[in-house]
Amino acid sequence: MKRSPFTRRPRLAREADQLVWLAEGLARSSSRVEDAFWESRLIAEVESLVEAEDEAALTAALDRLSQAGDRGFEELADVIESRCESTGTAADDPQAGMLLLAIPVLAWSRLRIPAGNLPDALLAQVRSDLQAHVIDPEARLVLGDFLFSPDQLPQGYIATANLARRFFAALEAKRPLRLDAGDFPETGQFLSDARYILAAVSAAPGSALFRWQAEDSNRDALLAAWSEAARNTLSGAFPACAIDVLGPQAFFSACRESDRQLRPYSLNAGVEFLRATLGVEPASLRAFVGGFHGHRLEEYRVGFALPEGEAVIHGVVWPLLDAEDENSDVIADVEQRLRDAGIVQIQVFEQRFPLEFCDDCGAPLYPNEDGEPVHPEMPEQPTSPSAHLH
C-alpha cells in the first residue's frame, strides 16, 4: 500500500519519541515499583503498534536507542520481541500464556541442505522427543510441518507476530499447523547453514512450560538427551548431511543462538569438507584471516589454502553479531576455533579489507597469503574423495 511521507513522518516521530521516552525511563528506573510503572506503559504502547502493524515506528525507536548506546535499547527490544513471540491469552483460558518456539538445526553437506515440508510421521516423533525431554507433561504443544531456512523465516517483528498468531490458533484448535511451501522463497545453497522447526507451547497460569522448571530437574542433562534423540529422529530428513540439533528456545533467542553457534560450526564444517573432499588433514591446511569493512567492521573472513600453492580453495565468513565491533576481541575467538579444528598454520592480517564480493556470482572474496581478497577455487581433480560426514 502506498503511503505519503509527508503525512507519515510526523506521526512516526511522535510514536518513536514515545517509545524512546518509555524505554529510557525503564532503563533508568531504580526500583521494582518504578519498573512496573514504565513497563506497563511500554508494553501497552508496543502492543498498540504491533496491532496496527506499524513496523516503521518500532524500528525507528530501536535505531535511535541503538545510536545513543542507551540501555533502553535492550529494554525496548525485549518488550517488542516478547509481544511478537508470545501472548497472555487463549480461548479456553484467558490467563494462559503461549510462546512461539524455534528449534535450530545446524547442518553441512556437499549436497543441497533440505528445506520445506516435513512428513507427519517425522513430526510425530519430534513431538514425542520434545515431550520426553523438553516440554512439561502438562503443557500443550503444536508443531509446524515446515523446515525453514533462515531466508524463509518471517522478516521483521510484524511478520513474526502474524506467524505466531497462526501457530497460536493451531494450538487452540489442537492440530498441527500446515504451511504451504509455495508461500516461501527458494533458499540458497551453502556448505553449512541453519534450519528451523517452529512450534508453539502453552501452559496454565503459574504452570511450567519446560521440564527443567521442576525443582529436581537438570537442564543441561535434559537438553543433551533432547539433542541426541532429535539428531537420530531428524537424520532421515537430512540425507548426506551432518547435523547438530540445538535446544528449543523462544523464537528470537533461538535465532540469535543459532547465529552464534553457526560461526564455529561453519569453520569446522569447512575443515571437514576439505578433509573429506581432498583428503587433506587439518594440520596441513593454511588459514588466512582478515577483517572486512563496510562503514564499520562487518565480518571476518577465513581463506583456506593447501600446503603448497597460492590459491584459496575454500572460505568461511564469521559475521559480527549483537554489540560486537572493532573493539571486541572476536579475532581471538576465530583463531582459537581454528586451532580447535586442527589448523596450526594461521595468518591474521591487520589491514582493513573492503567488503567485496565477486562481480559474477556474488560470492564473498577471501584473503590469500599475500593479503589480497580473492575468489576461492577448488582443485579440479580431488585427490581422495570421501562420502563420510561426521
With respect to residue 273, please indicate whether it lies within any of the assigned structural domains: no
On average, the pLDDT of the chain sits at 90
- Mean pLDDT to the nearest integer, 83-109: 78
205 lies in the same domain as 181: yes
What tens digit of pLDDT does each residue of 175-189 get? 889 999 989 998 888
Identify the DSSP state of 388. -
Q: Which residue from 51, 1, 71, 50 is spatially nearest to 59, judged by alpha carbons? A: 50
**In this predicted structure, what is the pLDDT of residue 12?**
58
**In this predicted structure, what is the pLDDT of residue 381?**
54
Query: How far apart, in Å, are the Cα atoms of 107 and each of 112, 115, 166, 192, 325?
Result: 10, 11, 27, 6, 27
152 lies in the same domain as 231: yes
pLDDT category of residue 69 using cuts at 50, 70 and 90: confident
CB 150 within 8 A of CB 194: yes
What tens digit of pLDDT does each residue of 276-326 get? 999 999 999 999 999 999 999 999 999 999 988 779 999 999 999 988 988
With respect to residue 110, please indicate whether it lies within any of the assigned structural domains: yes
248 lies in the same domain as 145: yes
* Measured distance CA(300)–CA(361) in Å, rounded: 20
Q: Mapping DSSP to helix (H, G, I), strand (E, B) and coil, where does residue 348 land? A: strand
CB 244 within 8 A of CB 186: no
With respect to residue 370, please indicate whether it lies within any of the assigned structural domains: yes
| C-alpha cell of residue 284 | 596441513
Domain range enclosing 360: 279-374
What tens digit of pLDDT does each residue of 9-54 get? 445 589 999 999 999 999 999 999 999 999 999 999 999 999 999 9
- Mean pLDDT to the nearest integer, 115-132: 96
Decide if pLDDT at 8 tops 50. no
CB 98 within 8 A of CB 201: yes
pLDDT over 70, % of the chain: 92
* Measured distance CA(300)–CA(263) in Å, rounded: 10
* Measured distance CA(114)–CA(153) in Å, rounded: 15
202 lies in the same domain as 243: yes
With respect to residue 59, please indicate whether it lies within any of the assigned structural domains: yes
Name the CA radius of gyration of the chain, rounded.
23
**In this predicted structure, what is the pLDDT of residue 362?**
86
73 lies in the same domain as 155: no
**In this predicted structure, what is the pLDDT of residue 68?**
83
- Mean pLDDT to the nearest integer, 64-78: 90
112 lies in the same domain as 212: yes
292 lies in the same domain as 166: no
122 lies in the same domain as 249: yes
Query: How far apart, in Å, are the Cα atoms of 25 and each of 61, 70, 73?
Result: 14, 11, 11
CB 319 within 8 A of CB 256: no
With respect to residue 112, please indicate whether it lies within any of the assigned structural domains: yes
- Mean pLDDT to the nearest integer, 99-126: 96
What total number of domains does the chain contain? 3
Structure pTM?
0.90
pLDDT over 90, % of the chain: 80
In Å, the largest CA–CA distance within the chain is 69
285 lies in the same domain as 187: no
49 lies in the same domain as 111: no
Residue 315: CB atoms within 10 Å: 21
Which of 87, 118, 143 is the endpoint of a domain? 87
Crossing angle for the helix pair 330-340 and 251-278, to the nearest 10 degrees: 50
* Measured distance CA(371)–CA(350) in Å, rounded: 10
What tens digit of pLDDT does each residue of 199-235 get? 999 998 888 999 999 988 999 999 999 999 999 999 9
* Measured distance CA(211)–CA(203) in Å, rounded: 12
136 lies in the same domain as 212: yes
Q: Which residue from 172, 39, 41 is spatially nearest to 94, judged by alpha carbons? A: 172
**What is the chain's percent helix, strand, coil content, to nearest 5?**
45, 20, 35
- Mean pLDDT to the nearest integer, 93-111: 85
With respect to residue 381, please indicate whether it lies within any of the assigned structural domains: no
Decide if pLDDT at 248 tops 90. yes
**In this predicted structure, what is the pLDDT of residue 293?**
96
With respect to residue 92, please indicate whether it lies within any of the assigned structural domains: no
* Measured distance CA(318)–CA(302) in Å, rounded: 8
Burial class (CB in 10 A: 0-12, 13-18, 19+), 186: exposed
Tally of CA atoms within 13 A in the half-sphere of 282 that contains its CB: 16
| C-alpha cell of residue 74 | 535492550
- Mean pLDDT to the nearest integer, 69-75: 89
Residue 371 zone, left/alpha/beta (φ > 0; ψ -120 to 50; rest): left
With respect to residue 159, please indicate whether it lies within any of the assigned structural domains: yes
- Mean pLDDT to the nearest integer, 242-253: 97
295 lies in the same domain as 361: yes
